[in-house]
Amino acid sequence: MANGVVEQGGRGPRLQLPTPTPALTDRLERLRRRHPTFVQLARFAIVGGTGTALSALIYLALRTWMSPVPANVVALLLSTGLTTELNRRFTFDGAAAHRLRASVQDVVTVVFYAFYTSGVLLLLEWLVPGATQWEEALAIAAASVLGGLMRFLAMRYWVFAPGRPGRSAAA
């Protein structure tokens, strides 16, 4: 079996992903140790881009029968919950956070994004009356880039702060 080849097994076809070489693994580990914030920011961008795309797709689907602001809020509730957990596991290496504090932070994040992106939608409607659903989704996605940077900083220094006392998962 070769790396990167689809193999037929007992449970159906399986994709065997390439295994990184020890040299590449060493390099990545050195990068992670020397520049942890950069690595976290890169991971956060991957998760954030995926979450933004998911939110835009949900928004466009809901927008066919809902007005912009409610469609935006529902899309945010669904995508923000998922991306927060993905960021905890992938971006911040499974960092534990106090349950009550994490719940408050999740609520603050959703409320912030709901007001922020809803404000962007209202501003778009004022500046471009009759904007299409795609223009609305693009405006939300563009606003998410700035909001994402603020979210990264909040998660890095507030939610999953390194070396913060009381970082246990128990409440």
pLDDT tens across 39-98, in order? 888 888 999 899 989 999 999 999 999 999 999 999 988 888 788 888 888 887 777 667
* 156 close to 40: Cβ distance less than 8 angstroms: yes
The whole-chain average pLDDT of the chain stands at: 80
CA pair distance 84, 145, nearest whole angstrom: 15
Does pTM top 0.85 for this prediction? Answer: no
Residues with Cβ within 8 Å of residue 135, at least 6 apart in sequence: 124, 128
Q: pLDDT value at position 11?
A: 61
Q: Phi, psi at residue 143, to the nearest 5°? A: -65, -30
pLDDT band at 13 (very low <50, low <70, confident <90, very high): low
CA 14, 93, 148, 159 dihedral sign is positive
Q: pLDDT value at position 1?
A: 44
